[in-house]
Amino acid sequence: MNIRNEYFKNYWLLITLLGTVSAVLGCARPEQGLSYQDERLESKFSQLASSLGQLDSPMVKSPEYQVVVNSDTLDVWQETCYDLAQNGGQTDVHTALFKYVPGTQVKIICNSSFSNFTLSPKRLNIPVVKNGNELTFTIPEYYNYALAIPGRAPLLLFGSPDYSAYKPGAVVFAKGVHHGVNGVFKLESDKTYYLEEGAILRGKVLIENVSNVKLIGRGYIDDRTAPVAGNFVKVYRSQNVELRGFGVRHAALGWQVDMVNSTNVHVSHLNLLSFGQNNDGLDLGSGCQDVHFSHCFIGSGDDGFGWHATNAAADGETPLLNCSAQDCMIWKNQVGVGIRIGSSLETSRVEQLSFKDIDIAKMTWGGHSVAIPHSDWADVKNITFEGIRDETMGNTRFVLMYIKQNANSNPVYRPGTISNIRFIDCISSATEAIFEGYDANHMIKDVTFKNVKVAGRNMLQSDIVANSFTSNITVVD
């Protein structure tokens, strides 16, 4: 066996071992939920990863797809990404990055014949012309697309603007591989960091106790050749932060992007691919205020959006307040849900959150489109889900809300409340909408479903399943 094959044999052995640990750890924040034994395992995995040496990222030119955008032939990559142990520890997707221009024409050429295909987001109803093995279409004002052909790995198209205007005066990571100090890139206040297309940062990114920081460009943050467990891109106790345009490729247990006690953060046009358990996409925690996501592609193994408050003792109880996500696509694997608020909500309030035009293009396991599993004491209120569209055929789970103690609860359990939740213009093939309040003082109340379609029909009041500790859960036209 040659050196490269031996590398990949050891690499995917490591990934499989990490996947096994992730299945045990569940949804706890990795860096705060590890026992001493887990930390020893993490250390051993890190040492094994380091001993394997460096290798070019697991990206090779795609043998299956060609993509031409406005007469420009793009680089199309076959990427090997982290996955659950039961899936062999890995999954392959094909990706292409393009600069979005209104009215862009896209031609996709496949290497062999096919009959059926799905282009997401389905809601856009984009006219596609099929000519033999070629598909041609003109994209509307939207940035991310997924082509699924039965029997093939999917083709994911990531659109982003031209960010070159940020380059003058920035700390520039040129095309090529860059290594963080001890595997970490610590960003400093009052600086712009620019990732050229083709730049690869090997290691985690830490934005902590800083302000006025920009990380922008069309490169990658990628640890697939030396994976280390733990949350990957971290924004902690920081203000005035911009994250735009780059790809995230995490090859071990851990949330892909996590924020705690950070304010005025703007995130757009990121593309994330990591499919193991506990590999959430875009996560928020206690004290996050005025954080806004847009135009992101979230390839995740666990929750697409996971907005929590997991550790009041460490993070305090400043409210999670006034945060939003808009025009994002979720391509989710076999655990978790599309959008989760909870389970752990160890904070005073979770309020004024909104999700608009979120397309759940894939959810293999068939988890709930939206869940608020409330296992702690926060008052959760004033949350809007507008234009949430779950494309998963045959899914039976639409909405889940409850207030109760579970494995993620603080050891000293106190129940919270849920109120003033709105679902507007949502679509799902599922009909299950379950609500379970705690008691007469800790209820789920004032939940409205307006112009919502389930299983190809208008949602009915009879689709609601609720216990006696709920009030005013209504379906309206």
Q: pLDDT digit of tens for each residue in the chain (477 aa)? A: 333 333 344 444 444 444 444 333 334 444 343 333 333 333 444 443 333 333 345 899 999 999 999 989 999 999 999 998 888 899 999 999 999 887 889 999 999 999 999 999 999 999 999 999 999 999 998 899 999 999 999 999 999 999 999 999 999 999 999 999 999 999 999 999 999 999 999 999 999 999 999 999 999 999 999 899 999 999 999 999 999 999 999 999 999 999 999 999 999 999 999 999 899 999 999 999 999 999 999 999 999 999 999 999 999 999 999 999 999 999 998 889 999 999 999 999 999 999 999 999 998 876 899 999 999 999 999 999 999 999 988 888 999 999 999 999 999 999 999 999 999 999 999 999 999 999 999 999 999 999 999 999 999 999 999 999 999 999 998
Residue ranges covered by each domain of the chain: 58-162, 255-476
Asked: is 58-162 a CATH 3.30.1360.70 domain? The reply is no
How many angstroms separate the CA atoms of 80 and 57, rounded?
Answer: 9
Nearest CA among 247, 260, 181, 189 for reference residue 218: 247
How many angstroms separate the CA atoms of 342 and 294, rounded?
Answer: 21
Phi, psi of 356, deg, nearest 5: -135, 135
The pTM of the full predicted model, rounded to 2 decimals, is: 0.90
- Find out whether 148 and 329 touch, Cβ atoms under 8 Å: no
In angstroms, what is the C-alpha Rg of the chain? 22
Nearest CA among 74, 113, 114 for reference residue 94: 74
**Neighbouring-strand partners of residue 197:** none
Q: Which residues of 250-338 form beta strands (DSSP E)?
A: 257-260, 263-268, 271-274, 282-284, 289-294, 297-300, 305-309, 320-332
Phi, psi of 283, deg, nearest 5: -115, 145
How many angstroms separate the CA atoms of 211 and 311, rounded?
Answer: 23
Length of the chain: 477
How far from the centroid of its chain's Cα atoms is residue 72's Cα?
A: 29
How many angstroms separate the CA atoms of 248 and 420, rounded?
Answer: 34
In this structure, CATH architecture of domain 255-476:
3 Solenoid (2.160)
- Tell me how many degrees the CA angle 232-234-237 measures, rounded to the nearest 5: 165
- Find out whether 408 and 375 touch, Cβ atoms under 8 Å: yes
Task: Return the residue matching tokens 């924020």.
Answer: 259
What are the start-end ranges of the H helices in 253-352? 312-315
